[in-house]
Structure 1
Amino acid sequence: MSGIFISFEGPDGAGKTTALKKLMPLLQEKTDQEIVLSREPGGSPISEKIRKIILDIHDEEMDPRTEALLYAAARRQHLIDVILPTLKENKIMLSDRFVDSSIAYQGGGREIGTKEVAEINDFAIDGHLPDLTIYFDVTPAVGLARIRKDHEGQMDRLEKEAISFHDRVYDSYEQIVKDNPKRIKKINAEQAPEKVVSDALAVIVNRFPEIFNKGE
């Protein structure tokens, strides 16, 4: 397998999705390898169906372990349908969220244990971790303020959780970053959007100079 796999992580309101849309064409200018952008939960037909269940605002009675298992199931299908085929074809895989999200949100946020959620996902991903993970660092207060402003009341089930939930998610992410310094690189997502994109671009180009060197 000769493609590269990059995931993007961060708390709600970190601006990952917006940054990725701006980042992708900038990366494509620097390489001849095709870049594929996907998301989690979702990214493939079956996984998108699971996404609707997970994020439905009416499913408030969902058990935390059920939620964790659904995320792992969606991730497994996304891996099989999208990620592995992309890497096999020597393409560059960008995923808006991957396994670290479950560890932070369900393990930490839902308080069912980061170790336990990591074990569920170890089974799901079968050793296929990203080559690089970029973590968009934003405090819960700033992130949630952005969501309230941008979503205009259309918040999903997780975004509507209490601030204490988001504080636990943030603390869990911080621990994940600390435990994985080689794979995960943190950038300040409270900067101007253009600076966030340029910082993310620099991290990727510096990590894979042999791939992103077109025109240099």
Structure 2
Amino acid sequence: MTLPRIGGSAGARGAFISFEGGEGAGKSTQIARLAATLRARSGHGVCVTREPGGSPRAEEIRTALLGGVAKPYGPFAEALLFSAARIDHLDRLIRPALGRGETVLCDRFIDSTRAYQGAAGGLDAAVLDALERVVVGPTRPDLTLILDLDPAAGLARAAGRGARTGQGADRFEAEKLDFHIRLREAFLAIARAEPERCAVIDASRDPDSVEAAIRDAVAARLPDLLPGEGARGDAA
């Protein structure tokens, strides 16, 4: 059973916001911006994390996954490794932070597994649903912000970032364009299926405009986090 969100009774559970989208959509930039805004204005603690990763053991699994260690064994093996990392991440970081009333901002969560290993990788949705029930249980995001961007533009951004940092494409960035097109379609399908949880943000705009749209979505869906913020309806 989940605790009530911020704004409920004493001992209220913090808010859980996940960021999703394809490669190069700008999730890391926008998470950092939202975290700064929430810390300045909400009066609640903010925990920034990511998947795979977020805890020491999960970060070790991240290195293996992004290095392509599990790819030869197929999407089911990758989903199992993501699930193992998620168990540790939830137990060691996300659930304790929510229990303290903090707002958790997570770069990717269950929807990335649905999109990458499911829709794009071909793993049966029933298998992913079973994994979610066992691993995630009731700890679901209160709001999921899907940063939507043309896959070709996103891959170009990711390549530019890699050139600046000297890092080559990881296991997923290296996939062909049609894989990333399926990813985008999967994220948009998730948003259509769960509109009460998901908000689609046009990530093709400049970073300030994307930030404003995200603030509007948060203010509209979780008003306790940004009191007095006027929603302008910039979210797609």
Q: How high is the TM-score relative to the length of structure 1? A: 0.94
Which residue type is aligned with residue 6 of structure 1?
Answer: I
Mapped partners of 1:79, 1:59: distance in 2:
22
How far residue 76 of structure 1 moved from its aligned partner, in angstroms, is 1.4
2:151 and 2:26 mapped to 1: Cα distance?
12
Q: TM-score, normalised by structure 2?
A: 0.86
> 36, 50, 55: which one pairs with 1:39?
50
Give the aligned partner of residue 161 of structure 1.
175
- Higher mean Cα deviation, 98-107 or 16-25? 16-25
Q: Which residue of 1 aligns with 2:188?
A: 174
1:25: Cα distance to partner? 0.6
Deviation at 1:215, TM superposition (A): 9.9
After superposition, the Cα gap between the structure-2 partners of 1:171 and 1:214, relative to the gap in structure 1 and judged at 3 Å, is closer
Would the aligned equivalents of 1:6 and 1:131 in 2 still touch at CA under 8 Å? Answer: yes
C-alpha deviation, 1:100, in angstroms: 0.4
The answer as to 2:101 corresponding to 1:90 is yes
Kindly indicate whether residue 78 of structure 2 is the aligned counterpart of residue 67 of structure 1: yes
Residues 170-209 of structure 1 aligned to structure 2 (within 5 Å): 170-209=184-223
Residue ranges of structure 1 left out of the alignment (5+ in a row): none
Query: Residues 103 and 117 of structure 1 are in contact (CA less than 8 Å); yes or no, is this contact kept in structure 2?
Result: yes
The match for 2:225 among 207, 211, 215 is 211
SS at match of 2:72: coil
- Superposed, which structure 2 residues align to 1:10-49 within 5 Å? 10-49=21-60
Deviation at 1:184, TM superposition (A): 0.3
1:62 Cα deviation after fit? 3.4
Letter in 1 for 2:145: I
Structure 2 match to 1:101: 112
Question: Percent identity of the aligned residues?
Answer: 35
Q: CA RMSD in A?
A: 1.8
Matched, 1:56 2:70: no
SS in structure 2 of the partner of residue 9 of structure 1:
strand
Pairing partner for 2:127 from 116, 119, 136: 116
User: Per the alignment, in what secondary structure is the counterpart of residue 112 of structure 1?
Assistant: coil
- Distance in 1 (CA, whole Å) between partners of 2:223 and 2:189 is 28
Partner Cα separation in structure 2 for residue 40 and residue 9 of structure 1: 10
- What secondary structure sits across from 1:61 in the alignment? helix
1:183-213, CA deviations, whole angstroms, 9 ceiling, x for partnerless residues? 0001100000111111111111222223322
Return the structure number with greater relative CO, CA threshold 8 A, min gap 6: 1
d(CA) in 1 for partners of 2:79 and 2:171? 14
Going from structure 1 to structure 2, the CA distance change for 1:138 and 1:5 (only over 3 Å counts) comes to same
Contact 1:3 1:87 in 2 (8 A): yes
Aligned AA (2:205): Q
Q: Tell me the SS of whatever aligns to 2:94.
A: helix
Distance 1:178 1:123 in 2: 25
Segment of structure 1 superposing worse, 106-115 or 55-64: 55-64
- Contact in 2 for aligned 1:42/1:74 (Cα 8 Å): yes
State the shift of 1:60 in Å: 4.5
Question: Could you give the per-residue CA deviations for residues 62-115 of structure 1, whole angstroms, max 9, x where no partner exists?
Answer: 322100111111111111111110011111111111100000000011111233
**Match for 1:180: what amino acid?**
E
The number of residues matched between the two structures is 216
